[in-house]
């Protein structure tokens, strides 16, 4: 049979790549089609239908993208697809009844780990046997409703038996170094109430049994790294999408890290770089040093909340002493640390948020983004809140009310005022998230004479400046929420607009500094002597390569181009980009967004992060959604943003295309209104449209609401209302506008480089 997989592909999708290897091993043909933006829906449907597939599988990891994928399912049906349409991933597994509503046109949902279930599904379709006999599926009934689940399937135990993911397109590059997603295990032992990973595995174990945490052997991991390294030209950054890279036990973690190091050495692998994520209570000084020796240059540490009570509310099970000790251990080992804060949560108080402000200042040399913990479908947080209050929204995104009025108001103020800084694709928070990571890439690969240390110090200084600025503005927002008359709508909206404009004005200067530093780092990679490949093949590697050591399809790992199966074109940036981890969320005022650092989104153990991006189940196809999710890639020095490497459509004309290393979005629902007892209950959804005519830029505001505006900018602004003419003085100038409607405030900005000239 012919199977087409459709999913996010900002970086190589491990989930879809593994499933491609699985179905190929079973004798089927496959194709991978990328779907990264809802504007691509019609074109993605066309590509997915090309070649007459028998089955189309939608990889839906994150709830915030579920509306887009379900719309794609309907578009496929409208375009005439009559084959089998299935879906998998965290969201459809937890919301299988809703996903299988007749309106969406899905024929099945592959639940939990999908490798075995998918192969049996294809066999049943080919033989025309009842799908009800395939374990691990959710199906609509013959009448269309209600939906049913077939007999459960036990979670996979032997991950070494899972084939290596198909490397179906060129690797992204960070500072010119190939960036390779990989996964060494699945599952998490935590109990965080907001995390979809926990809900996903709890549901799987309750249904069919098995262990939540399962690991590949060090030898198996090293074999894939060595083979992939050979295909990547001898050097690479490996991004581990494991839900947790480490054990709760230091002794076991040290044994595992040393086992991977020894196995890599046996294959002749020398210097590589590694990105991973971990719970704070697993990181010790001795382990951090061992990780650095292995090649770990960046670690996402799941802080999630800098207040003791906040962590307790989220069931983090991690005390603040562990958090601070873990970050100190990484600092001393030279590992760049990234984290996010869910400063707003249902039981939070202003004093808890102020503790988070103090935490940001205490760790200012680490980049930070903050948002609200979201009640993703099926999580404990969702279940608890649905019993405590009337949640607005639907299974596609719920909105809730923070218990304390002034903390709820603070959230609303920050959602509007920090929208551009925290969650715009090229916002300051997204752009500075990867500074230290990019500098560490240089230190690892381009530092023969110690030149990269200069960039490390510059990155640290700028990171600290931006973090402290964020803490100052957040404190200003808290002061407003703490003192204002809650019924004074006029003052609250006016002060929120002023705060947002002030933050946007400060961002103009930070963007200029970020431009300069990223440009200098990329230039360094072009001037420095290219590092020698760290692979010196040993007899063991040569035996592995001949396919004698493991039963693999070596073409899956030895090529960085397309497989013999038809593969959809690589992403628009030409393969240069997103970072490994992801997180994928939009602005807190109700944007949408996805998931890690991208370097990939934040890790599943806290904060969200997508585990490898996509897959109908499948190793690397399981990530987590916490509060924020991320979605990014680093500096490839050739066309992918340097450590926050923006994609072409996000980059301003005339500047190199950089994909974000860590792109953060707010995953709060876009359309679910907030309670109307406080101001800022329904912020306007706005967009700026612009065109350039000579030195003048014509700018118009697009919104469906009745609004008033306040324009500010560098240079001269002519006019008012919803349309102005702007005459910037320099390419780095920015135009800013605060927009007020009956429901709230939004602040958006435009960079002088962005508008395309007319004609």
- The 10s digit of each residue's pLDDT in 570-582 is 333 333 322 222 2
Q: What percent of the chain lies above the pLDDT cut of 90?
A: 75
- Average pLDDT value for the chain: 85
Radius of gyration, alpha carbons of the chain = 24
Residue 141's pLDDT is what?
83
Question: What is residue 758's predicted lDDT score, i.e. its pLDDT?
Answer: 65
Q: Is 715 within the bounds of a domain?
A: yes
> pLDDT higher for 424 or 291?
291
In this model, does residue 643 exceed pLDDT 80?
Answer: no
Range of the domain at 62: 2-149
Looking at residue 147, what is its pLDDT?
87
Q: Is the pLDDT of residue 156 over 50?
A: yes
End-to-end CA distance of the chain: 48
Average pLDDT (408-433) is 93
Query: Is there a domain that residue 630 lies in?
Result: no
**Residue 415 and residue 401: Cα distance in Å, rounded?**
14
Residue finishing a domain among 117, 132, 149: 149
pLDDT for residue 143: 72
610, pLDDT greater than 90: no
pLDDT value at residue 423: 87
Give the pLDDT score at 534.
Answer: 77
Which of 204-208, 314-318, 350-354, 628-632 shows the lowest mean pLDDT across its residues?
628-632
* Mean pLDDT (whole number) for 685-714: 94
Question: Given a cut of 80, is residue 661 above it in pLDDT?
Answer: no
Flag whether pLDDT at 229 surpasses 60: yes
Task: For residue range 702-739, list pLDDT tens digits in order.
Answer: 998 899 999 999 999 999 999 999 999 998 899 999 99
44 pLDDT above the threshold of 90: yes
pLDDT at 754: 86
Calculate the CA 140 to chain-centre distance.
31
- How many CB atoms sit inside 10 A of residue 146's CB? 9
**Segment 341-350 mean pLDDT:** 98
Which three-class secondary structure string do you get for 719-740?
Answer: EECCEEEEECCCCCCEEEEEEE
| Six token digits for residue 702 | 């697009």
Least trusted range by pLDDT, from 147-161, 479-493, 530-544, 654-668: 654-668
Cα 705 to Cα 132, 648, 689, 722: the distances in Å are 49, 30, 16, 11
pLDDT the model gives residue 245: 87
Instruction: Identify the band that residue 618 occupies on the pLDDT scale cut at 50, 70 and 90.
Output: very low
Reduced to 3 states (helix: H, G, I; strand: E, B; else coil), residue 300 is strand
Say if 93 falls within a structural domain. yes
Torsion angle of the four alpha carbons 417, 423, 429, 434, in this order, in degrees rounded to the nearest 10: 180
Taking only the tens place, the pLDDT of each residue in 357-406 is 999 999 999 999 999 999 999 999 999 999 999 999 999 999 999 999 99
Q: Which of 131, 132, 139, 136 is nearest to 99 (CA)?
A: 139
Burial track 64-77 (b if 16+ CB lie within 10 A, e otherwise): bbbbbbbebbebbb
Q: 179, 121, 267, 198: which is closest to 643 by C-alpha?
A: 179
Does any domain span residue 729? yes
Residue by residue, DSSP assigns 666-728 as E-S-SSPPPPTTSS-SSPPPEEEEEEEETTEEEEEEEESS--EEEEEESSEEEEETTEEEEE-
pTM for the whole structure: 0.87
Domain end, chosen from 149, 165, 191, is at: 149
Q: Looking at the predicted structure, is the pLDDT value of residue 641 above 70?
A: no
Greater pLDDT, 340 or 653: 340
Per-residue pLDDT band at 426 (split at 50, 70, 90): confident
Asked, for residue 333, whether it belongs to a domain, the answer is no
Our CA dihedral for 537, 543, 546, 548, rounded to 10 degrees, sits at -150
Q: Average of pLDDT values for 178-196?
A: 94
CB atoms within 10 A of CB 373: 33
On whether residue 521 sits in a domain, the answer given is: no
Task: Identify the band that residue 662 occupies on the pLDDT scale cut at 50, 70 and 90.
Answer: low
CATH number (domain holding residue 728): 2.60.40
Per-residue confidence (pLDDT) for residue 318, from 0 to 100: 76
Q: Are 501 and 476 in contact (CB under 8 A)?
A: no
Q: What percent of the chain has pLDDT over 70?
A: 83
Tell me the two tokens of residue 666: 């707010």
Q: Indicate the residue among 122, 149, 176 that finishes a domain.
A: 149
Whether 26 is in a domain gets the answer: yes
**Least-confidence region, from 182-196, 605-619, 655-669, 694-708:** 605-619
In Å, the largest CA–CA distance within the chain is: 75
Backbone angles phi, psi at 180, to 5 degrees: -120, 110
Q: Is the pLDDT of residue 649 over 50?
A: no
The pLDDT assigned to 637 comes to 31
Domain assignment of residue 282, yes or no: no
Split at pLDDT 50, 70, 90, the class of 634 is very low
Find the CATH number of the domain harbouring 7.
3.40.50.2300
pLDDT band (50, 70, 90) for residue 554: very low
Structural domains in the chain (count): 2
Mean pLDDT in residue range 420-438? 92
Residue 585, pLDDT above cutoff 80: no
């Amino acid at each position: 049979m012919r199977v087409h997989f459709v999913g996010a592909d900002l970086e190589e999708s491990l989930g879809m790549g593994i499933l491609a290897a699985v179905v190929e091993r079973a004798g089927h043909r496959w194709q991978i089609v990328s779907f990264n933006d809802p504007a691509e829906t019609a074109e993605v449907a066309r590509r997915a239908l090309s070649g007459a597939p028998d089955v189309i599988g939608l990889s839906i990891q994150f709830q915030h993208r579920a509306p887009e994928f379900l719309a794609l399912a309907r578009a496929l049906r409208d375009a005439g697809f009559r084959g089998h349409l299935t879906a998998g991933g965290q969201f459809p597994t937890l919301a299988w009844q809703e996903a299988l509503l007749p309106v969406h046109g899905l024929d099945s949902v592959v639940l939990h780990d999908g490798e075995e279930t998918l192969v049996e599904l294809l066999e049943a379709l080919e033989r025309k046997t009842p799908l009800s006999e395939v374990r691990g599926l959710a199906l609509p009934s013959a009448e269309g409703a209600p939906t049913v689940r077939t007999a459960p399937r036990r979670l996979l135990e032997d991950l070494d038996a899972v084939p290596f993911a198909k490397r179906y397109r060129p690797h992204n590059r960070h500072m010119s170094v190939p960036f390779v997603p990989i996964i060494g295990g699945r599952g998490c032992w935590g109990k965080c109430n907001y995390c979809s990973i926990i809900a996903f595995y709890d549901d799987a174990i309750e249904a069919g049994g098995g262990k939540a945490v399962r690991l590949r052997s060090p030898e198996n991991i090293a074999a894939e790294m060595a083979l992939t390294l050979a295909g990547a030209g001898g050097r690479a950054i490996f991004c581990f999408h494991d839900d947790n890279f480490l054990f709760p036990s230091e002794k076991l973690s040290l044994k595992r890290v040393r086992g991977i190091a020894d196995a890599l050495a046996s294959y002749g692998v020398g210097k590589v770089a590694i990105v991973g994520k971990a719970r704070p209570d697993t990181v010790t000084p001795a382990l951090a040093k061992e990780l650095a020796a292995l090649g770990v240059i960046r670690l996402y540490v799941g802080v999630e909340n800098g207040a003791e009570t906040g962590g307790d509310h989220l069931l983090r099970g991690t005390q603040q002493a562990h958090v601070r000790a873990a970050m100190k251990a990484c600092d001393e080992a030279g590992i760049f640390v990234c984290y996010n804060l869910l400063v707003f949560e249902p039981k939070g108080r202003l004093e808890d948020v102020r503790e988070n402000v103090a935490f940001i200042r205490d760790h200012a040399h680490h980049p930070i983004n903050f948002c609200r913990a979201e009640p993703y479908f099926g999580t404990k947080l969702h279940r608890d809140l649905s019993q405590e209050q009337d949640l607005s929204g639907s299974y596609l995104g719920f909105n809730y009310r923070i218990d304390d009025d002034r903390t709820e108001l603070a959230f609303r103020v920050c959602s509007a005022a920090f929208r551009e800084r925290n969650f715009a694709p090229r916002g300051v928070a997204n752009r500075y998230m990867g500074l230290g990571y990019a500098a560490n890439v240089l230190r690892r690969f381009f530092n023969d004479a110690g030149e990269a240390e200069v960039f490390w110090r510059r990155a640290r200084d700028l990171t600290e400046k931006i973090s402290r600025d964020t803490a100052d503005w957040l404190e200003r927002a808290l002061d407003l929420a703490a003192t204002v008359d809650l019924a004074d709508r006029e003052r609250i909206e006016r002060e929120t607009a002023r705060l947002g404009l002030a933050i946007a004005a400060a961002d103009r200067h930070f963007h200029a500094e970020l431009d300069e530093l990223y440009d200098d780092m990329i230039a360094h990679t072009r001037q420095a002597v290219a590092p020698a490949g760290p692979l010196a093949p040993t007899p063991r590697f040569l035996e592995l390569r001949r396919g004698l050591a493991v039963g693999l399809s070596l073409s899956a790992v030895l090529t960085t181009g397309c497989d013999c199966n038809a593969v959809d074109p690589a992403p628009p940036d030409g393969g240069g980009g997103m970072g490994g981890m992801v997180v994928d969320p939009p602005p807190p005022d109700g944007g949408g967004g996805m998931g890690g650092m991208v370097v990939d989104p934040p890790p599943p153990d806290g904060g969200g992060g997508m585990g490898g991006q996509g897959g109908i189940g499948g190793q690397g196809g399981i990530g987590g959604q916490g509060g924020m999710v991320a979605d990014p890639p680093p500096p490839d020095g050739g066309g992918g943003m340097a450590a926050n490497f923006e994609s072409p459509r996000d980059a301003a004309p005339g500047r190199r295309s950089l994909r974000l290393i860590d792109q953060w979005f707010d995953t709060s629902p876009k359309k679910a209104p907030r309670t109307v007892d406080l101001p800022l209950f329904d912020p306007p959804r706005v967009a700026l449209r612009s065109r350039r005519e000579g030195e003048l830029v014509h700018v118009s505001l697009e919104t469906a609401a009745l609004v008033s505006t306040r324009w500010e900018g560098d240079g001269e602004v002519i006019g008012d209302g919803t349309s102005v003419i702007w005459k910037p003085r320099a390419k780095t100038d920015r135009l800013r506008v605060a927009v007020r409607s009956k429901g709230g405030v939004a602040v958006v900005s435009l960079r002088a480089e962005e508008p395309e000239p007319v004609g």
